[in-house]
């Protein structure tokens, strides 16, 4: 959705507002967090576990970052919460708060599944 196409190829890429230097864990945490918000059970499903396994095999994220993955996902969810608050979207605010609670309450289960 962030690519503008010509008839035969890519014309340009748009929406760079989130580009820049970020923590090594940022993109992985954002991806896992977005997968889980759709269905929290998927946080321990094959897609997430396979992604984490492949990322670990690539050895591009430190052990310390993996240790704090749940906390980082929760921290990133505050950006989503801020968006829902700006829009006064009470349904999404409630969903986001419930999801953050699921992450916090299930930290040990998630760490065990991921580590």
The confidence band for 16, taking pLDDT boundaries of 50, 70 and 90, is: confident
Predicted confidence at residue 101, as pLDDT, reads: 98
**C-alpha distances in Å from residue 103, one per residue of 14, 19, 44, 73, 77:** 32, 26, 12, 8, 10
Over residues 64-75, the pLDDT tens digits come to 999 999 999 999
CB under 8 Å, gap of 24 or more: what pairs does 90-97 form? 95/37, 96/37
Q: Which two tokens stand for residue 34?
A: 């977005």
């Amino acid at each position: 959705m962030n690519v503008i196409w010509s008839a035969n190829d890519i014309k340009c890429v748009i929406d760079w507002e989130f580009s820049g230097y970020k923590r090594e864990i940022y993109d992985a945490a954002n991806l896992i967090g977005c997968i889980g918000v759709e269905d929290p059970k998927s946080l321990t499903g094959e897609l997430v576990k396979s992604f984490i396994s492949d990322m670990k095999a690539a050895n591009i994220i430190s052990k310390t970052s993996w240790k704090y993955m749940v906390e980082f996902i929760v921290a990133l969810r505050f950006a989503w919460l801020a968006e829902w608050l700006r829009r006064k979207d009470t349904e999404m605010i409630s969903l986001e708060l419930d999801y953050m609670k699921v992450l916090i309450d299930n930290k040990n289960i998630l760490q065990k599944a991921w580590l």
